[in-house]
Amino acid sequence: GAAGGYHPLDGGTLPDYLAKLENCASILGGNPSEWHVDEVGDGNLNLVFIVRGASGSLVAKQALPYVRLVGESWPLPLKRAFFEHEALITQIDCVPDLVPAVHHYDDVMALTVMEHLTPHIILRKGLIAGNLYPKLAEQISEFMAQTLFKTSDLYLSAKEKKQRNAVFCDNDALCKITEDLVFTDPYRVAELNRWTSPQLDDTAARFRNDAELKVAVQSLKEAFMGRAEALIHGDLHSGSIMVTETETKVIDPEFAFYGPRGFDVGAVIGNLFLAYFSQPGHAGNGQDRVAYGEWILTQIGEIWERFQSRFLQLWESQGQGDAYVAGLFEELDSAAAFAAYRRTYLQDLFHDSLGFAGAKMIRRILGLAHVEDLESIEDPDRRAACETKALALGRILIVDRKTYENMASVISYARQLQ
Ligand code: ADP
Ligand code: MG
Ligand code: MG
Ligand code: MG
């Protein structure tokens, strides 16, 4: 680590680094030699430190030049820290209460110092524990409606939208991870794939030879690659959401780029369905987890309904962008036609979201990166039973997405599978 150049920090060097930043030092308080550093990164990619001082705490997140989950053999650009910070400050503009505050950003060190969310826990862990989050549906749908509306051509000028899109086009390395791991590898023989074996061997082989499914997934992949609708978070699973009973905060937007809105909505919904199908695997000690599964299904319905109505409301009240120019629909019949069109637009977004939800579910069972909801079910037969149902829903969400008129029908189908 030459002075001034990038070098990974650790518990020894981070306090010296932070001591030089006036605002960070004052949040921590007291003597830097007494600041306590824990490395808590449980994610797949980066270093995350919690630093505690005499008067407060903060989080420092630093990118590594490789994929942490795999090791130095899989290089990954440090520039993802730049995209994460860019996305985070855009989200702060849209929904300041639903993301951590930023204290400091260092481009060379690929490092962001941010608010320490406490006592928040990762939503995925809360769903495994069986906790209820009464504000989750309202707050996560607000996050999605605001960010997916206010970064789009419905709200921004054409020039600004194109300039913002151009900034994020360079995040191609992280996009490629999604293109490969979500949309491609689970449907072919790939070295990094794994699944509960031998229980799911036949299912995995069937998915690799399912022509209808593969065509449908590739159409979703092309939508992911080509449709620059809005700045999407790009990794909005339940491990990127931190919660308390009253607060919801979204973290980890390093995969952000201009893509299809349904990818974010689908990530939330798909991961909630994974949590739902994992519930029987967490039953025990007199708890059957049936009521909790029903609570998850209710949240899925509520998230879609709230997202849809909030998004439409934002469009109606703030649709000042260069798409659908204001004033063009003033006559009564034009206004009615435009209102009907907005409903169709949301229905298309619904179908996209279902398709992406399905793709997100399947990749977590047949691909490289799995989820704790299912991995924590120790008995492989029991886990495979949960995974088989989740795979069945995932497949239907992809191939039949356009036949569903509302989330209630999707939810009844999921309940039938369970
Ligand atoms: P990665 O990109 O490597 O997945 P994340 O941003 O998801 O890293 O962070 C990894 C973990 O660190 C999270 O699961 C969470 O437990 C913790 N974490 C990250 N940011 C914060 C924060 N602002 N406050 C509290 N904990 C955080
Ligand atoms: Mg993460
Ligand atoms: Mg990063
Ligand atoms: Mg990440």
- Number of folded domains in the chain? 2
Centroid of ligand 4 to alpha carbon of 343 (angstroms) = 34
Which of 77, 100, 115 terminates a domain? The answer is: 115
Question: Which CATH number covers residue 38?
Answer: 3.30.200.20
Tokens representing 9 are: 């920090």
Tokens representing 358 are: 């399905």
Q: Evaluate whether residue 307 is within a structural domain.
A: yes
At 336, give phi and psi (nearest 5°).
Answer: -65, -40
Domain with 352, as residue range(s), is: 121-417
pLDDT of residue 4: 67
Centroid of ligand 2 to alpha carbon of 99 (angstroms) = 14
pLDDT of residue 157: 98
Q: Evaluate whether residue 5 is within a structural domain.
A: no
Residue 252 CA: nearest ligand 1 atom is 6
Residue among 120, 251, 254, 271 to mutate when testing ligand 1 (max atoms within 8 A of CB): 251
223 lines ligand 1 (CB under 6 A): no
Q: Evaluate whether residue 4 is within a structural domain.
A: no
The answer to whether 391 and 203 are in contact (CB under 8 A) is yes
Q: Is 139 in the same domain as 273? A: yes
Residue among 83, 252, 372 to mutate when testing ligand 1 (max atoms within 8 A of CB): 252
Q: Is 263 in the same domain as 127? A: yes
Cα separation, 299 vs 266, in Å, equals: 14
114 lines ligand 1 (CB under 6 A): yes
Q: Evaluate whether residue 3 is within a structural domain.
A: no
pLDDT of residue 1: 42
Choose among 114, 122, 121: nearest CA to 87. 114
Ligand nearest to the CA of 118: 1
pLDDT tens over the chain, length 418 residues = 445 699 999 999 999 999 999 999 999 999 999 999 999 987 678 999 999 999 999 999 999 999 887 888 889 999 999 999 999 999 999 999 999 999 999 999 999 999 999 999 999 999 999 999 999 999 999 999 999 999 999 999 999 999 999 999 999 999 999 999 999 999 999 999 999 999 999 999 999 999 999 999 999 999 999 999 999 999 999 999 999 999 999 999 999 999 999 999 999 999 999 999 999 999 998 889 999 999 999 999 999 999 999 999 999 999 999 999 988 999 999 999 999 999 999 999 999 999 999 999 999 999 999 999 999 999 999 999 999 999 999 999 999 999 999 999 999 999 999 9
For residue 353, count other CB atoms closer than 10 A to its CB: 29
Q: Is 266 in the same domain as 181? A: yes
46 lines ligand 1 (CB under 6 A): yes
ipTM of the complex: 0.97
Q: Evaluate whether residue 9 is within a structural domain.
A: no
The answer for residues whose C-beta is within 8 angstroms of residue 358's C-beta and 6 or more apart is: 266, 270, 393, 394, 395, 396, 397, 398, 401
Q: Is 96 in the same domain as 164? A: no
The number of CA neighbours under 13 Å toward the Cβ of 217 is 29
Residue with the nearest Cα to atom 23 of ligand 1? 116
40 lines ligand 1 (CB under 6 A): yes
Residue 47 CA: nearest ligand 1 atom is 3
For residue 171, count other CB atoms closer than 10 A to its CB: 23
259 lines ligand 1 (CB under 6 A): no
Q: Is 59 in the same domain as 155? A: no
Query: If you count them, how many residues does the chain have?
Result: 418
Q: Is 242 in the same domain as 94? A: no
60 lines ligand 1 (CB under 6 A): no
Q: Is 185 in the same domain as 227? A: yes
Burial 282-319 (b: 16+ CB within 10 A, else e): beeeeeebeebbebbbebbbbbbebbbebbbebbeeeb
pLDDT of residue 3: 54
* Residues bordering ligand 4, an ion, CB closer than 5 Å: 43, 45, 252, 254
48 lines ligand 1 (CB under 6 A): yes
Which of 52, 86, 115 terminates a domain? The answer is: 115
Which of 115, 134, 169 terminates a domain? The answer is: 115
Q: Is 221 in the same domain as 362? A: yes
Q: Evaluate whether residue 2 is within a structural domain.
A: no
